[in-house]
Amino acid sequence: MPYQHDTPEERDALGVMLGMKLPKTYISVILGKHLSSIYHELNRNSDENGIYLGREAQDEADQRRANTKERPKMSNDDL
């Protein structure tokens, strides 16, 4: 199964389900993600108080994506 980034809708759903105090194992089944993916998302995109907000997580992910370097081969027409 190829890797895919979390969508804004998945991040919103994760935030809602966390607010409902659902177990993370249950959330992973609902979203169709591995449990480690849920923990990785929470560790990477929660604020300093451990609070996860889907929209803010998406903004942070978009910002990280915008700050990445361009891949050298993709910018070289000869290659």
> What is the distance between the alpha carbons of residues 70 and 59, in angstroms, rounded to a whole number?
20
Domain ranges in the chain?
8-61
Tell me the mean pLDDT in the region 1-11.
79
Please give the structure tokens belonging to residue 50.
């451990």
- How far CA 52 is from CA of 21, 34, 73, in Å, comes to 12, 18, 36
Confidence class for position 2, pLDDT limits 50, 70, 90: low
Rounded to two decimals, the pTM is 0.74
pLDDT tens for 9-34 read: 999 999 999 999 999 999 999 999 99
